[in-house]
Amino acid sequence: MKMPELYGVIGQPIAHSLSPLMHNTAFAASGCQAHFTAFAVDDLAAAIAGVRALGIAGVSVTLPHKTAVIKYLDWVAPEALEIAAVNTIVNREGRLCGYNTDVAGALNALTEKLDLAGKRVLILGAGGAARALVYGTVKAGAKVALTNRTPERGLQLAKEFGAEFVSAAAAAGFLPEVLVNTTSVGMLPQVDALPVPESFINSGMVVMDIVYNPLKTRLLEVAERNGALTVDGLEMFVGQGALQFELWTGEKAPVKKMREIVLEHLRENV
């Protein structure tokens, strides 16, 4: 009898992660003999050595390891190298291969609402998720600007991918048609925080928040009230997770089941 394959997510902190819930539901729904767990990892080199030694079949990588993990892998997809962030590792008979599914997960969620080509996109933040969004939206033909509380970091990221950096004070002058929050502003427990003033958001915008807990952040509430179209963080989270599942198993992900279980958990734990 074949032993179940082991998968996991590595990060720190990791106790809050809904990846085990989502992926174990997907494995069960697809009849895969597999189990997914969370590993709190401080020593990344030792953790990746453990993946090799234990034959762990696949790994999801989250903060703060998405960039640092690259040097421990045997092969990295060109897109993940260009972004300098890996969120998915596939163990192919001892050869650890790195991918980034954040870009496609985010873009798929956005392009369900609009065609990005030629649109003015303003991205808030300059962390790992912002890297994926800036890279992806620029590639999709959007005119991209970003703003960040640490200007040096924001300027560096903008320069790297051919975007524009704007100060918070000048952001409204960019006249964004799409606004994406990649910061933690609005995440539990600071649910009343807004990353931009209410007056910034208008009915002509599409507003996306990658925060998925709470599911409807204050930013999305304000956006709805002001008549904007909204995209919640659940879509990106499930989207990138579904692509991970497909890389690991070679099977079509049960996206509906994955979304339902995460949504159910979020609603029960409001």
Of the candidates 156, 155, 177, 153, the one whose C-alpha atom is nearest the C-alpha of residue 166 is: 155
Indicate which residues carry an active-site annotation.
Answer: 66
Q: What is the C-alpha to C-alpha distance for residues 10 and 87, in angstroms, rounded to an integer?
A: 10
Cβ atoms of residues 98 and 76 within 8 Å: yes
* DSSP secondary structure code for residue 213 in this structure: S
Cβ atoms of residues 245 and 253 within 8 Å: yes
Q: Sign of the C-alpha dihedral, residues 72, 73, 78, 79?
A: negative
Q: What is the C-alpha to C-alpha distance for residues 108 and 69, in angstroms, rounded to an integer?
A: 25
Cβ atoms of residues 106 and 239 within 8 Å: yes
